[in-house]
Amino acid sequence: MLALRGVSTDRFDADAFVARVTTDPNRPCAVRQHEVLIAQPSEIAAGGFRGMLTPPHADGRVGPNALRLPPTLDYLAAGDILSIDPRCGSIKVLYRRSSDHNTLILTERCNNDCIMCCQPPKKAADSHLIAEALQAIKLADEGTRTLTISGGEPSLDLDGLLNVVRAARNYLPDTALHVLTNARAFRYLGNAQRLASLRHNDLMLGIPLNADLPELHDYIVQVKGAFDETVLGLMNLKRCGVRVEVRLLVQGANAHRLPETARFIARNLAFADHVAVMGLEMHGRARAHRELVWIDPLDYRDALADAVTFLAQRGISVSIYNTPLCVLDQRVWLYACRSISDWKREYPAVCAPCLQKRDCGGVFATSDDIISAGVRPIT
């Protein structure tokens, strides 16, 4: 989720920490050390909490060891999990109890350099993110339906990734875990075996394959040989019994290869547990490379429908992500999912009278004005 927000602070001097939100000042003493209490300044009297937060429009001045929340975080509720750095007065939302779209970022580093990356990689050391993720998993609600692990490339620190998967298995045994990775680390069979040996009961690895042509895939990720390593990683993972999802992110550079890529998957990767054909989030590097990567979904509408239908007819589980219904051929509506995270999904004003809005995935709020010319209400 990674929403970094500023907060005002008054003499709160402590190291950064991860804690769960509560609004109950009468929580058992044993759990208070792992929680932050949200309360009015006049009500902050209970001791033992890891920290104190006051609502954005609370009356009175916050006292020592308390932070005032900014209005952008007024949605916080009991069970949410935060990373707080009191020294600079910042809060990062790691997990929302009410959401089915929680993502824990293990690193912002990556060994690919994709031309359309919506979250361009950084080079700074950030091992603290794994520690944050481990703490968040321990504090998350056991009823959490799904949890995504992402990056950067989370397998760059394979031991750290394995520790996170192990923690999810132990603390959230009924939660589906989805790891987004380029799978290049799993070109080594031993790495795939280590992951499989954890025996997580509901684990899926989402792995991007950008084209059927090695040179085109390698161009998109800007790494020579990446195609071969990714395909080998897919095969090793499945050989070890790890479920895999092939992700095809459609953009200007590869849209013309949709039918051929579908055929490649059906011939060579038919073992895939799922295939996701995904629309582009025009943010980060994708926005900077707009002329190179942007293509209106209307321009590949027929090719997309043919590719998805081809895969489905061959018994391969397939879905369409990040694409509103109105720009899709109606024959593939049943494959379209509301995949955009709830915190960055929006519906333009033109969608107000749409009769299919409840079933439509909307568009990326982060893409701003770069959306399909075909977005319109279905009436």
173/155 Cα distance (integer angstroms): 22
Instruction: Check residue 65 and give its pLDDT.
Output: 65
Instruction: Check residue 5 and give its pLDDT.
Output: 40
**Domains 3-94 and 103-367 are alike in CATH topology:** no
Instruction: Check residue 338 and give its pLDDT.
Output: 95
Instruction: Check residue 24 and give its pLDDT.
Output: 92
| Domain 103-367 annotated CATH 3.30.70.3170 | no
Domains of the chain by residue range? 3-94, 103-367
Pick from 47, 50, 42, 41: nearest CA to 25: 47
Instruction: Check residue 39 and give its pLDDT.
Output: 86
- Global confidence as pTM: 0.92
CB 109 within 8 A of CB 116: no
| Cα dihedral value 71, 77, 80, 86, nearest 10 | 40
Q: Which CATH code, of 3.50.30, 2.20.25, 3.30.70, 1.25.40, is assigned to 3-94?
A: 3.50.30
Contacts (Cβ under 8 Å, ≥6 apart) of 198 = 162, 165, 166, 169
Residues in a beta bridge with 38 = 53
Q: Length of the chain, please? A: 379
* Bond from prior residue into 374 cis (ω within 30 degrees of 0): no
Instruction: Check residue 46 and give its pLDDT.
Output: 63
Q: Is the dihedral of CA 174, 180, 183, 184 positive or negative?
A: negative
Query: Which ranges of the chain does DSSP label H, i.e. alpha helix?
Result: 29-32, 128-139, 158-171, 189-196, 214-221, 226-239, 258-268, 285-288, 290-293, 301-313
Long-range contact list for 39-44, CB < 8 A, 24+ apart? 41/66
CA atoms within 13 A on the CB side of 318: 24
Instruction: Check residue 4 and give its pLDDT.
Output: 33
277/305 Cα distance (integer angstroms): 10
Identify the residue whose tokens are 């799978």.
183
Tens of pLDDT, residue by residue, the chain (379 residues): 333 344 444 444 478 999 999 999 889 999 999 999 998 876 655 678 888 888 887 666 666 667 888 899 999 999 999 999 888 878 999 999 999 999 999 999 999 999 999 999 999 999 999 999 999 999 999 999 999 999 999 999 999 999 999 999 999 999 999 999 999 999 999 999 999 999 999 999 999 999 999 999 999 999 999 999 999 999 999 999 999 999 999 999 999 999 999 999 999 999 999 999 999 999 999 999 999 999 999 999 999 999 999 999 999 999 999 999 999 999 999 999 999 998 899 999 999 999 999 999 999 999 999 999 999 999 9
- CA 323 to chain CA centroid, Å, is 16
